[in-house]
Amino acid sequence: MDAEEGREKKRVKLADYPSNRTVVQMGLHLLPREILLEILSRLPITSLIHFKITSHAGYDLIVDPRLPPMFRNWVSDSNPCLILFRNDSVATRGLYFVGSEGRSNRRVRRIDPPQHSDVDNLVGSCNGLLCLSFPIIGGSSVFHSLLIYNPFVGDAVRVPPANRFLKQREVFGFGFHPRTGEFKVVRIVSYDKIVAIANPNVFTTVCESMVQVFTVGTTEWRNKGAPPEQFQYGSPPVLVEGSLHWLMVVRMEEVDPIFGIISFDLADEVFEEIPHPPCQQLVSRDYSLSVLNGCLSVARLVDAVHFDIWVMREYHVRESWVKQFSFDPRFPGGRPSFLGRFPKVICALKNGEILLQCNDSSLVSYDPVENRFKTLQIGGLSKQFQAFPFLPSLFSAKATMNLQL
């Protein structure tokens, strides 16, 4: 070992001591603030938060209002983090975060929303904000309260309670529209209504439905009439081009419902049918919606041996649907694979692979070039969970009104 190499190794070791790390942090003041912000904007969100809580200088930089939009410019849709919702039992139910840095052996970090420990659903994720649902027991019915929460900034906005109905069934959606700069929560609820028939003393029960919209930053829900009759309450929505998308029943064919796609525009607050891909027999058990590289996509399992992913490359244009991926979800030789039941498409990765969730218990990446599957190892989490793509942000949940992104 020559003298220069020895001096280099000594410098590396000295930097490991706490007193010398403090010197390094103090040296940040020697750089112009604009350069420091530019450097920080390119770091992983976990590094930023660690820097914020371990350094006075770091805290001052992280809370600079110029940093959130700079950080957002470097967050990529094709390299998302993940939010995992563990739902195998009430006792262990909770939210976990998995960073995008590293390709294997990732570990989870638990997320603890303020004053809540019983999250029963992740309604949606948009621009670094989570919309969380919490159960409220009211007599024989279960209602829900909602919270808009940024797990890294740490602040939250409570959504005011919506109308409660007899034997209600509700589904929520959460999203942002770039034209209006508003975050909105959509609630679609069906319920039993008691009405008088013929004689005022004779009553019957009818089922009615209602659409309600809440704009983050306001104080009340707004009623928007009834949803389309074909609306399906069991399917979670996906957000594309400022609209929430659900499955809808187009018609019944023998014993299976045939599905199409319906959207709710968060700016104009109207429903509209979206052209579906040129698939046949789109039935509930083999058909799901997702988002790939910002585009609406449809995944379809055909006869348990072909898994097709269609992508709408130009939004709302029927002719732009293309079958971008098609593979056999089994190991070579026909042996059953780890994909098991109908897999859920999570997102596309920047290396061209597709991230899938299988059997509610494992994450698998598919390489379309090599036609190969690989299980992602995530330490610290076991049993069942649901995975959601998540793009972290430093925007405050309390400052999201009219946010122009």
Residues 129-187 pLDDT 10s: 999 998 877 666 678 889 999 988 888 889 998 888 878 888 899 999 989 989 999 99
Are 38 and 122 members of one domain?
no
Range of the domain at 365: 75-399
Are 44 and 192 members of one domain?
no
Are 11 and 112 members of one domain?
no
Are 209 and 170 members of one domain?
yes
Are 23 and 150 members of one domain?
no
Inside any domain, residue 32: yes
Inside any domain, residue 307: yes
Q: What is the 3-state secondary structure (H, E, C) of the chain?
A: CCHHHHHHHHHHHHCCCHHHHHHHHHHHHHCCHHHHHHHHCCCCHHHHHHHHHHCHHHHHHHCCCCHHHHHHHHCCCCCCEEEEEECCCCCCCEEEEECCCCCCCEECEEECCCCCCCCCEEEEEECCEEEEEEEEEECCEEEEEEEEECCCCCCEEEECCCCCCEEEEEEEEEEEECCCCEEEEEEEEEEEEEEEECEEEEEEEEEEEEEEEEEECECCCEECCCCCCCECCCCCCEEECCEEEEEEEEEEECCEEEEEEEEEECCCCCEEEECCCCCCCCEHHHEEEEEECCEEEEEEEECCCEEEEEEECCCCCHHHEEEEEEECCCCCCCCCCCCCCCCEEEEECCCCCEEEEECCCEEEEEECCCCEEEECCEECCCCCEEEEEECCCCCCHHHCCCCCC
Are 154 and 34 members of one domain?
no
Inside any domain, residue 405: no
Are 369 and 386 members of one domain?
yes
Are 22 and 82 members of one domain?
no
Inside any domain, residue 316: yes
Q: What is the pLDDT of residues 237-264, one digit of tens each?
A: 999 999 999 887 766 656 566 678 899 9
Are 209 and 302 members of one domain?
yes
Inside any domain, residue 205: yes
Inside any domain, residue 359: yes
Q: Which of 40-54, 55-69, 193-207, 248-262 has the lowest mean pLDDT?
A: 248-262
Are 371 and 254 members of one domain?
yes
- pLDDT of amino acid 36: 87
Are 201 and 230 members of one domain?
yes
Inside any domain, residue 248: yes
Last residue of a domain, one of 34, 55, 71: 71
Q: Which position has the higher pLDDT, 120 or 225? A: 225
The structure's pTM equals 0.83
Last residue of a domain, one of 38, 71, 104: 71
Last residue of a domain, one of 71, 105, 125: 71
Q: What is the CATH number of the domain that holds 371?
A: 2.120.10.80
pLDDT at 214 over 90: yes
Inside any domain, residue 404: no
Are 221 and 295 members of one domain?
yes
Number of structural domains the chain divides into? 2
